Structure 1
Amino acid sequence: MPVTTCIFDAYGTLFDVSAAARNAAAEPGAGKLADTWQALAESWRIKQLSYSWLRAVTGQHADFWQLTQDALDWSLEAHGLDGDAALRARLLALYHELQAYPEVPTMLAALKARGLATAILSNGSPGMLEGAVSSAGLGAVLDDCLSVESVGIFKPARAVYDLVGQRFGCAPCEVLFVSSNGWDAAAAASYGFTTAWVNRKGEPVDRLPGQPHHVLTDLARIPELEVF
C-alpha cells in the first residue's frame, strides 16, 4: 500500500535546535557564549531529551517547554553561564522561533503538490510548535501539528504514534515517518511506519529492535523516495 501521509518530527528534523544558541552568540555582547555556544547547544539538547525519557519512565509528565527550560538551566550552570537572566530569557525567546533547515520549505511543498498529507508529530507543546511553524513560514505546507500533550507522555511511547492514525484515518503502512533522532525512527519502524532517519551527523545506526528503512543526510530527497 503506498504512502499517503508524511509525518515529521520537529526539533532537529525540520527545525535547527542549535539555532537559538548560535544566533544568541552572534549578537553584540555575547561574551563567553560566543566561545561556548556549540557545547551549550549540544548539552541543552541532550538534557532535554534525557528529561523526556526519564519523565516518561517515572510517570512524572511535564510539558516540553518546562523540560526545555530545565535543560537550559542545567546547561547554563554546566558551562559557567548561570546567573545571567538576560541570556536565559534571550535563548528561550530564540527557541520559540527556531530556523527551519534550508531544504524544508521546498521539500514540504513538493509533497503537498503530490497530494500527500503532511504533519508534525512532536514532543513539543502546542505553543512551542505554533511559534516554530509560524516563524519558519510553514503553515501553508503542513496539515497539522500533533503534540504529545494530548496523551501526556513523550516519544517513543506507542500512544504518541497512535495519534497519526487517529488524526488522518490511515494505517501505519500508509505513513512515512521522518526523524533526525535514530531512536525515534527505530521506534516508529517497530510501530509499523515506513521510516526515514535524517542522519545529519553521520552517526551509527542505533542497536534497537526497529531499524530505519531509509537513511539520509538531509531532507531534500524525501520526495524522491520510492514509497509513494
Structure 2
Amino acid sequence: MPSSYFRLSHHPRSTSPHHGRCPKGDFVMADFARVKALAFDYYGTIADKQALAAEIDERFPGQGAAFAKLWFAQIQRYCFQVGQMERHITWDELTIAGFNFACADMGLEVPHVLRDQWIKADTRLPVYPEVPEALARLATRFGLYVLSMATPWMIEKSQANAGIAEYFKDVISAEPHKVYKPGRAAYEVGQREIGVAVEELGFVSGNAFDVIGAANFGYPTIWVRRYGQALDELGQEPDLVVKNLKEMAEALGT
C-alpha cells in the first residue's frame, strides 16, 4: 500500500476501536464496509478550478493564479456569510460578487464580456488527470454522485465536456434548496435525495472546510489533499486522506 495516503482519527461520532491518530499507511477497510455510495464535491475535487489561471494570465500576466484562488475563496466565504445571516443569494450571484471582489482587491478592471467568459469556464475546466480512470474503478463498487453548491446545469455540462458523465448517477446541488455548505442542511440534501443512511454515504472533497462540514453531519469522509494543505483545527477530521482519486480507488479496494 502506498505510504502517501493515510487514515486520520475519527471525528467524535465514531466508537471505532481504531480511534486515534494513525501513522501513514494504516488504513482500516472496515471503516467503509457499509458505504454504498460516494458523493463528490465537484470544483477543486474533480474539476481543476486553478486551470482557469492560465486563461486569466493571458489578460493579466503573472496574476492568474492569485486571481483564480482569491475568486474561488471569496465565493466560499460568501456562502458562509449568507448561511450565517440566514439569507439566500443564488450561486450565480455569489459567483459574480466573488469575481467583483477579486477585481477590486487586486486592482484589476475586467470588462463584463470577459467576466462572463471566465465564469462560463466552469463548464469547460479540465478534470484532474487521474479522474476518469479512478471514477471508472470506483463505479464498479459504489453509486457515484455529485453533491455541490454550484448550479447543476454547469456541473452537468462540465461532466459532458470532460467525458465523465457516464460514471455519475445524479448531480445534486444544495443551491436550489437555498442552503450552502458547510451548514448541516446542505449535507442533508444529499442523504435525502440519494436515499441511503448517513453511514452508507461516503463524502469526498478536496476542500478542507467541506470535509469538516460533512464529518460534522456524520458522513464517512475522504479528503483529497492534492497540495499538502493544512486541515482546519475545529475538532473534526477526515476518515481517509489521499493525494488524488487514484489513491482513493486503491484504498477502497477498487
2:104 to 61, 77, 84: 77
Residues 131 and 245 of structure 2 are in contact (CA less than 8 Å); yes or no, is this contact kept in structure 1? yes
- 1:53 and 2:80 matched: yes
Q: TM-score, normalised by structure 2?
A: 0.81
Hey, what does 1:139 align to over in structure 2?
165
Residues 55 and 64 of structure 2 are in contact (CA less than 8 Å); yes or no, is this contact kept in structure 1? no
Rounded Cα–Cα distance in structure 2 between residues aligned with 1:74 and 1:134: 30
Structure 2: gaps of 5 or more residues: 1-32
Hey, what does 2:14 align to over in structure 1?
none
Hey, what does 1:36 align to over in structure 2?
63
Rounded Cα–Cα distance in structure 2 between residues aligned with 1:39 and 1:113: 38
Rounded Cα–Cα distance in structure 1 between residues aligned with 2:130 and 2:78: 30
Rounded Cα–Cα distance in structure 1 between residues aligned with 2:217 and 2:210: 10
1:206 to 207, 223, 232: 232
Q: TM-score, normalised by structure 1?
A: 0.90
- 1:22 and 2:38 matched: no
Structure 1: gaps of 5 or more residues: none
The AA in structure 2 aligned to 1:82 is E
Rounded Cα–Cα distance in structure 2 between residues aligned with 1:148 and 1:3: 22
For residue 153 of structure 2, give the secondary structure of its aligned residue in structure 1.
Answer: helix
Hey, what does 1:188 align to over in structure 2?
214
The AA in structure 2 aligned to 1:163 is V
Residues 52 and 64 of structure 2 are in contact (CA less than 8 Å); yes or no, is this contact kept in structure 1? no
Deviations along 1:119-143, one digit per CA (max 9) or x if unpaired, are: 0000101222222222212210001
Judged with a 3 Å threshold, the aligned counterparts in structure 2 of structure 1 residues 24 and 205 are, in CA distance, closer, same or farther, namely: closer
Post-superposition offset of 1:195: 0.6
Rounded Cα–Cα distance in structure 2 between residues aligned with 1:21 and 1:66: 21
Rounded Cα–Cα distance in structure 1 between residues aligned with 2:69 and 2:190: 29
Residues 107 and 219 of structure 1 are in contact (CA less than 8 Å); yes or no, is this contact kept in structure 2? yes
- RMSD of aligned Cα (Å): 1.8
Residues 56 and 63 of structure 2 are in contact (CA less than 8 Å); yes or no, is this contact kept in structure 1? no
Judged with a 3 Å threshold, the aligned counterparts in structure 2 of structure 1 residues 84 and 192 are, in CA distance, closer, same or farther, namely: same
For residue 81 of structure 1, give the secondary structure of its aligned residue in structure 2.
Answer: coil
How many matched pairs? 222
Instruction: Give the 5 Å matches for 1:47-196.
Output: 47-114=74-141, 116-196=142-222
The AA in structure 2 aligned to 1:220 is K
Rounded Cα–Cα distance in structure 2 between residues aligned with 1:75 and 1:40: 6
Residues 174 and 186 of structure 2 are in contact (CA less than 8 Å); yes or no, is this contact kept in structure 1? yes
Residues 65 and 128 of structure 1 are in contact (CA less than 8 Å); yes or no, is this contact kept in structure 2? no
Identity among equivalent pairs (%): 30
Post-superposition offset of 1:24: 4.1
Post-superposition offset of 1:192: 1.6
